[in-house]
């Protein structure tokens, strides 16, 4: 087959029929269930946990059952598997309560009494020493030389966002012949392997992790399954039976990782309608454990100048330690926060200068060959002017109709990048992806990678790449959900890297296999990741090429605002996307639609507050995400710009589709109201304050 | 515990259960019909939708007391019908499925919509599926799939 052939997704039919087995659908003999005993305090010492008597079927698994280390190893090891003597957030796991009968577990839990010595929690991001996790900084040019220029300063705030994957978090742990086996809904099987190795002090041969059909993740199943795997592994080892831990929805919303709330200040120094310098300060709330937060902060600050060349820069960022819920990965990974601030700022300054917001952006666009904000070079072709031209053409810009039949009409734009793959030299230094292709004696070709299908289409995309590279029918490709006993570590399913990085390795492997395709015996080809020689990165000083490549999006949103109730309706989103060569337009459209609507939720609907460290919006009714009634018309065009390192020219796509939507909508609402907006979501109660100010 | 009799996917079933138990749990745990999913357990997301005497219901909100003597059709049973086959083909063709977790419920809602309104316009499609949350697709391809299914000739 050819890469241009139109295909249907390989995993659709069994999902429609309800035959696909998610973790909660898989039967296990003698399955025991677990629920989590959670802290009700944001900070304190545990003085005593009193368990009720008379429950012979119940087993408690807690910090006393730790085998080697009470650490959930992610990037750091600061998070305990079970609280040991102290708690640091509301909802922190103290123990698993395990039994055969769910009703008995609930009855037992009602009788538990935990006595605490309350501590003094931190809920705000202040610059006190005990409130700081990490600080990062980079600069360019000489910002001090701009003293005396006109300045515009804005402070931007973004809220929590919950991934709200439709399938809740879930794993099953089982011990078979001394091997700890984890089955579950996850993005990164080898993250789970590494966490178990550390927690149990087991060699890799005694650990097996199998991804089950995963009902959405969006970053929420990047780090979190490692926690549940460590907890249930200890439980399964203790009771010598399989243990299932599946959260209920309220528990999942309240106590698993979210998108970091942020507080970002941008001060622009400008002259003759052009920004000459920016001073930027980014703060994000990690919660009590660092986890992935320092990595999120790096992407946030490295994305801070977006699609623009700014000659003089001071960019700093802080990860704050609080006793709020701990935060983690969510599609965009720091980018949505930065780009809401930057794109709002650009439109505000354009309006203050009385110039068109797209023309103002165009004056600042980066170009191929120029230096990035961190002193790397843009090696690839960049077509931002052409993308803007297409955007104008498809939307009729700037002659946009203002008649809203009694409603206020507004338009907003955003032009945004997303860096593909891990930040800096992460792919070469940390991930070190390995992929395998195996041709069996029946002439089927097996894709052996640890990257997962979580809805985004990995099974189909990677199968299509291999089938096209080999020019064989898709039916000859076999790609199953990863089982770490069978597949090498090709890295996590994150950072929009699966098609671009892993897909390229498979493409290279396929080309090597091509000559051996007609041989009768088994053939195995292994490929290792090597960073292109033209890229360099200094992690210590954040200098060099922050990303392998950049994907781009140019967006225009049209909104209508009710002048009385201030309710916002988004009627249209126009988007032009450069994702290299789109290797499957149908699947990419699915990514665009889904990303746009998650971005729309982030910008105008999804509200989540924390009170004394407890998330207040914990159900589908209180945490409102877009339904069918909230969906605008989505108009999509591609800018074809093949990426030399990508398989068939493909670049990152999954996260790009989300990151620019909230500022496009928020600036459209600002346009409709004739006011500036510094905070999302643009809910009526927030807009009332904006209108009154 | 009470003995209750009802029909599931055209077959009579008799089992002993608590009358306050959720239909969803009986389907999944007692009968192994795991195509029906629990997304929220509060009647908000539609992932657990089935037909009860032909009406679309959230099975997480239906106590077994309300099922006695009635007929339940789940995705496993619905997928044996002609009406389903059109919907399935349209969902596949439009690429309307990503993670798939909401899809069995979405398909049940689609079937109910097309039965009451064989040729819905976009607004009617949005209304008909407004009780079903999907977090992956942004619904666009699902709208198209429903439209496509409504245009296909019913094969008798």
CATH number of the domain at A262-423+540-692, please?
3.30.365.10
SS3 for A29?
Answer: coil
Evaluate whether A437 touches A447 at the Cβ level (below 8 Å). Answer: yes
Closest chain A residue to the Cα of B80, Cα to Cα: A17
Q: By C-alpha distance, which of A629, A692, A670, A650 is closest to A340?
A: A670
Note whether B69 and B95 are same-domain residues.
no
CA distance A331 to chain B (A): 12
Note whether B68 and B8 are same-domain residues.
yes
Q: By C-alpha distance, which of A286, A282, A292, A261 is closest to A608?
A: A261
**Placement of tokens 């843009």 in the chain:** A378
Query: Confidence band (pLDDT; 50, 70, 90) for B155?
Result: very low
Check if A262-423+540-692 and A426-528 are the same fold.
yes
Closest chain A residue to the Cα of B40, Cα to Cα: A249
Kindly state the percentage of chain A with pLDDT values over 70.
100
Q: Which of B36, B91, B101 sits opposite A12 (nearest CB)?
A: B91
Mean pLDDT of the region B13-24: 98
**Placement of tokens 């977790």 in the chain:** B101
CA distance A596 to chain B (A): 7
User: How high does pLDDT run on average in chain B?
Assistant: 96
Evaluate whether B151 touches B145 at the Cβ level (below 8 Å). Answer: no
Determine the structural domain holding residue B35 and report its residue range: 2-74
Evaluate whether A170 touches A164 at the Cβ level (below 8 Å). Answer: no
Q: Is B156 contained in some domain? A: no
How far is it, in rounded angstroms, from Cα A225 to Cα A165? 14
Q: By C-alpha distance, which of A225, A224, A220, A199 is closest to A210?
A: A225
Note whether B95 and B146 are same-domain residues.
yes
Q: What is the pLDDT of residue A116?
A: 98
Q: Which of A24, A620, A629 sits opposite B42 (nearest CB)?
A: A620
How far is it, in rounded angstroms, from Cα A620 to Cα A598? 15
Q: Is the dihedral of CA A461, A464, A470, A476 positive or negative?
A: positive
| CA distance readout (Å), A12 to A246, A453, A594, B133, B145 | 24, 12, 17, 18, 13
Q: Is B67 contained in some domain? A: yes
Q: Is B144 contained in some domain? A: yes
Exposure on the CB side of residue A311, measured as CA atoms within 13 A: 12
Report, in angstroms and rounded to the nearest whole number, the Rg of chain B calculated over CA atoms. Answer: 15
- The pair of structure tokens assigned to A30 is 């003698």
Note whether B111 and B138 are same-domain residues.
yes
CA distance B28 to chain A (A): 8
Q: What is the pLDDT of residue A127?
A: 79
Sequential DSSP letters for B108-120: HHHHHHHHH-SS-
Helix (H) or strand (E) holding A342: helix A335-353
Does residue A682 register a pLDDT over 60? yes
Phi, psi of A415 (to 5 degrees): -130, 115
- Which chain B residues are within 8 Å of A595, Cβ to Cβ? 138
Q: Is B142 contained in some domain? A: yes
Beta-carbon separation of B135 and A587 below 8 A: no
Does residue B91 register a pLDDT over 70? yes
Query: Confidence band (pLDDT; 50, 70, 90) for A554?
Result: very high
Exposure on the CB side of residue A262, measured as CA atoms within 13 A: 34
Note whether B65 and B18 are same-domain residues.
yes
Evaluate whether A46 touches A86 at the Cβ level (below 8 Å). Answer: yes
Q: Is B21 contained in some domain? A: yes
Q: Which of A22, A24, A216 sits opposite B136 (nearest CB)?
A: A216
Closest chain B residue to the Cα of A621, Cα to Cα: B44
- The pair of structure tokens assigned to B132 is 């079903």
Q: What is the pLDDT of residue B59?
A: 98
CA distance A600 to chain B (A): 10
Helix (H) or strand (E) holding A278: strand A274-287
Evaluate whether A268 touches A277 at the Cβ level (below 8 Å). Answer: yes
Beta-carbon separation of B95 and A8 below 8 A: yes
The predicted complex's ipTM stands at 0.97
- The pair of structure tokens assigned to A580 is 């290299």
CATH classification at residue B134:
1.10.150.120
Quick one: angle between helices A661-673 and A335-353, nearest 10? 30
Does residue A578 register a pLDDT over 60? yes
What would the pLDDT profile of B36-85 be if each residue is shown by its tens digit?
999 999 999 999 999 999 999 999 999 999 999 999 999 999 999 999 99
Does residue B154 register a pLDDT over 60? no
Query: Confidence band (pLDDT; 50, 70, 90) for A276?
Result: very high
CA distance B70 to chain A (A): 22
Does residue B156 register a pLDDT over 50? no
Query: Confidence band (pLDDT; 50, 70, 90) for A693?
Result: confident
CATH classification at residue B36:
3.10.20.30
CATH number of the domain at A426-528, please?
3.30.365.10
Closest chain A residue to the Cα of B99, Cα to Cα: A455
Note whether B17 and B70 are same-domain residues.
yes
Taking the alpha carbons at both ends of chain B, their separation in whole angstroms is 43
SS3 for A163?
Answer: coil
- Which chain B residues are within 8 Å of A8, Cβ to Cβ? 92-93, 95
Helix (H) or strand (E) holding A151: strand A150-158
Sequential DSSP letters for A585-648: HHHHHHHHHHHHHHHHHHHHT----EETTEES--STTTS----GGGPPEEEEEE-----TTSGG
Pick the residue of B31, B138, B148 with the most A CBs within 10 A to test the interface with A by mutation: B138
Q: Beta strand pairing status for A179-184 and A170-176?
A: antiparallel
Note whether B67 and B92 are same-domain residues.
no
Torsion of CA A75, A80, A81, A85, to 10 degrees: 180
Helix (H) or strand (E) holding A559: strand A549-561
Helix (H) or strand (E) holding A170: strand A170-176
Closest chain A residue to the Cα of B38, Cα to Cα: A167
Note whether B44 and B16 are same-domain residues.
yes
Query: Confidence band (pLDDT; 50, 70, 90) for B152?
Result: confident
Note whether B65 and B48 are same-domain residues.
yes
What would the pLDDT profile of A13-61 be if each residue is shown by its tens digit?
999 999 999 999 999 999 999 999 999 999 999 999 999 999 999 999 9
**What is the CATH topology of the domain spanning A27-120+177-243?**
Aldehyde Oxidoreductase; domain 3 (3.90.1170)
Strand boundaries in A408-454, DSSP class E: 408-420, 434-439, 445-448
Domains of chain A, by residue range, sit at: 27-120+177-243, 262-423+540-692, 426-528
What would the pLDDT profile of A193-213 be if each residue is shown by its tens digit?
999 999 999 999 999 999 999
What is the total count of domains within chain B? Answer: 2
Q: What is the pLDDT of residue B153?
A: 57
Q: Which of A16, A27, A628 sits opposite B91 (nearest CB)?
A: A16
CA distance B103 to chain A (A): 6
Closest chain A residue to the Cα of B130, Cα to Cα: A628
Q: Which of B93, B101, B140 sits opposite A593 (nearest CB)?
A: B140
What would the pLDDT profile of A306-343 be if each residue is shown by its tens digit?
999 999 999 999 999 999 999 999 999 999 999 999 99
* Contacts by residues A99-104 (CB-CB < 8 Å, ≥ 24 positions apart): A99/A32, A99/A33, A99/A55, A99/A57, A99/A58, A99/A59, A100/A30, A100/A31, A100/A32, A100/A33, A100/A57, A101/A33, A101/A57, A102/A33, A104/A55, A104/A57, A104/A58
């Amino acid at each position: 087959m050819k890469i241009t052939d139109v295909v249907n997704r390989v995993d659709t039919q069994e999902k429609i029929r309800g035959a696909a087995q998610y973790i909660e659908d898989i039967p296990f003999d003698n399955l025991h269930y677990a629920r989590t005993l959670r802290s009700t305090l944001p900070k304190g010492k545990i003085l005593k946990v009193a368990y009720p008597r008379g429950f012979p079927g119940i087993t408690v698994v807690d910090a006393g059952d730790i085998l080697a280390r009470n650490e959930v190893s992610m990037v750091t090891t600061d998070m305990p598997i079970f609280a040991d003597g102290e708690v640091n957030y509301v909802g922190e796991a103290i123990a698993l309560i395990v039994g055969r009968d769910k009703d008995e577990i609930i009855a037992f839990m009602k009788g538990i009494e935990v006595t605490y010595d309350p501590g003094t929690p931190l809920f705000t991001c202040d610059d006190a020493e005990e409130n700081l996790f990490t600080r990062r900084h980079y600069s360019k040019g000489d910002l001090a030389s701009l003293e005396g220029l006109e300045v515009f300063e804005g402070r931007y705030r973004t809220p929590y966002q919950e991934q709200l994957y439709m399938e809740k978090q879930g794993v099953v742990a089982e011990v078979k012949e001394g091997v700890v086996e984890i089955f579950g809904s996850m993005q990164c099987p080898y993250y789970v392997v590494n966490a178990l190795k550390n927690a149990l002090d087991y060699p890799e041969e005694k650990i097996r992790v199998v991804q089950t059909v995963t009902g959405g993740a969006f970053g929420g199943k990047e780090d979190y399954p490692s926690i549940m795997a460590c907890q249930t592994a200890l439980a399964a080892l203790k009771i010598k039976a399989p243990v299932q831990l599946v959260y209920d929805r309220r528990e999942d919303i309240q106590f698993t990782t979210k998108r970091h709330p942020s507080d970002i200040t941008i001060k622009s120094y400008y002259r003759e309608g052009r920004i000459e310098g920016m001073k930027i300060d980014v703060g994000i709330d990690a919660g009590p454990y660092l986890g992935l937060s320092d990595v999120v902060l790096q992407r946030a600050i490295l994305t801070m100048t977006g699609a623009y060349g700014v000659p003089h820069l001071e960019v700093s960022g802080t990860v704050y330690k609080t006793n709020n819920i701990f935060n983690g990965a969510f599609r965009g990974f720091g980018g949505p926060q930065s780009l809401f601030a930057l794109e709002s700022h650009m439109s505000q300054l354009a309006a203050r200068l009385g110039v068109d917001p797209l023309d103002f952006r165009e004056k600042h666009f980066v170009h191929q060959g120029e230096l990035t904000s961190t002193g790397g070079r843009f090696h690839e072709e960049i077509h931002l002017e052409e993308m803007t031209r297409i955007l104008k053409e498809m939307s009729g810009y700037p002659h946009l109709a203002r008649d809203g039949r009694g409603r206020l009409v507004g338009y907003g734009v955003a032009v945004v990048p997303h860096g593909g793959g891990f930040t800096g030299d992460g792919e070469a230094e940390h991930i070190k992806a390995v992929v395998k292709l195996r041709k069996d004696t029946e002439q089927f070709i097996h894709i052996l990678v640890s990257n997962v299908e979580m809805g985004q289409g990995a099974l189909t995309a990677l199968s299509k790449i291999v089938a096209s590279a080999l020019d064989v029918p898709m039916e000859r490709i076999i790609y199953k959900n990863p089982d770490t006993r069978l597949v090498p570590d090709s890295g996590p399913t994150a950072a929009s890297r699966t098609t671009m990085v892993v897909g390229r390795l498979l493409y290279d492997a396929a080309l090597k296999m091509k000559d051996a395709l007609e041989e009768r015996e088994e053939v195995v080809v292994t490929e290792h990741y090597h960073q292109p020689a033209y890229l360099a990165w200094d992690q210590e000083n954040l200098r060099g090429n922050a990303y392998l490549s950049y994907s781009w999006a140019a967006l225009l949103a049209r909104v209508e605002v009710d002048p009385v109730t201030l309710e916002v309706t988004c009627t249209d989103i126009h988007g032009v996307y450069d994702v290299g060569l789109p290797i499957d337009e149908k699947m990419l459209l699915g990514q665009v639609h889904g990303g746009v609507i998650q971005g729309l939720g982030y910008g105008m609907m999804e509200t989540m507050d924390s009170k004394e460290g407890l998330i207040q919006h914990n159900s589908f009714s209180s945490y409102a995400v877009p339904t069918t009634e909230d969906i605008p018309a989505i108009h999509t065009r591609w800018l074809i710009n093949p990426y030399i390192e990508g398989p068939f020219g493909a670049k990152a796509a999954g996260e790009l589709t989300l990151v620019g939507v909230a500022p496009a909508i928020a600036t459209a609402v600002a346009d409709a109201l004739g006011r500036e907006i510094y905070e999302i979501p643009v809910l009526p109660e927030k807009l009332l304050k904006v209108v009154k100010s | 515990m009470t003995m209750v009799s009802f029909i599931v996917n055209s077959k009579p079933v008799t089992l002993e259960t608590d009358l306050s138990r959720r239909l969803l749990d009986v389907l999944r745990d007692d009968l192994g019909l795991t195509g029906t999913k629990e997304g929220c357990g509060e009647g908000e997301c539609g992932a657990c939708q089935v037909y009860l005497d032909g009406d679309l219901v959230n099975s997480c909100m239906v106590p077994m007391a309300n099922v006695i003597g009635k007929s339940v059709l789940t995705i496993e049973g619905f997928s044996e019908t002609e009406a389903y086959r059109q919907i399935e083909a349209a969902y596949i063709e439009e690429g309307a499925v990503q993670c798939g977790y909401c899809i069995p419920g979405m398909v049940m809602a689609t079937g109910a919509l097309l039965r009451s309104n064989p040729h819905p316009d976009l607004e009617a499609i949005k209304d008909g599926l407004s009780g079903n949350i999907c977090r992956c697709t942004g619904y666009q391809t699902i709208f198209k799939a429903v439209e496509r299914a409504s245009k296909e000739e019913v094969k008798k």
